[in-house]
Amino acid sequence: MTAPQVPGVSAPLPTPPVVDLRGVRKIYEQGEMVFEALKGVDVQIAQGEMVALMGPSGSGKTTLMQIIGLLDRPSAGSYTDSD
Ligand SMILES: Nc1ncnc2c1ncn2[C@@H]1O[C@H](COP(=O)(O)OP(=O)(O)OP(=O)(O)O)[C@@H](O)[C@H]1O
Ligand SMILES: [Mg+2]
């Protein structure tokens, strides 16, 4: 069954997310020490969406924000910033 059509009113077009993280991993290596700070982050944020990033100290908030802010790159996965 199709949705009823209202003259002059159309459904808003789906917009792609402005922030699109897929399977983002970040591995810090210092000599022999290897630390996986992000273990596969999937996040999509829509235009105008209000988002809070919360977690205990050391959970990777700053690491994630550095990737979203293009100050650092993921070790694996993809980040698309379409804003
Ligand atoms: N440049 C770096 N080299 C090695 N390890 C790092 C580096 N930056 C962060 N880490 C490690 O990665 C993990 C996540 O750190 P991050 O700073 O992203 O956490 P956070 O959630 O922002 O913590 P906080 O709430 O204390 O600011 C921590 O274990 C931290 O020690
Ligand atoms: Mg931090």
Residue 35 CA, ligand 1 centroid: distance in Å: 10
Q: Supply the pLDDT for residue 16.
A: 86
Helix (H) or strand (E) holding 34: strand 33-45
Q: Supply the pLDDT for residue 10.
A: 80
Residue bearing tokens 């829509």? 46
Ligand 1: residues whose CB is within 6 Å? 28, 30, 35, 37, 55, 57-63
Which listed ligand is nearest to 61 at the C-alpha? 1
Tokens read off for 43 = 């996040």
Tokens read off for 34 = 């290897």
In a structure prediction context, what are the per-residue pLDDT tens digits for the chain, which is 83 residues long?
Answer: 666 677 777 877 778 899 999 999 999 999 999 999 999 999 999 999 999 999 999 999 999 999 999 999 999 999 998 87
Which of 67, 70, 53 minimizes the C-alpha distance to 25?
Answer: 67
Smallest CA separation from ligand 1 atom 27, residue: 57
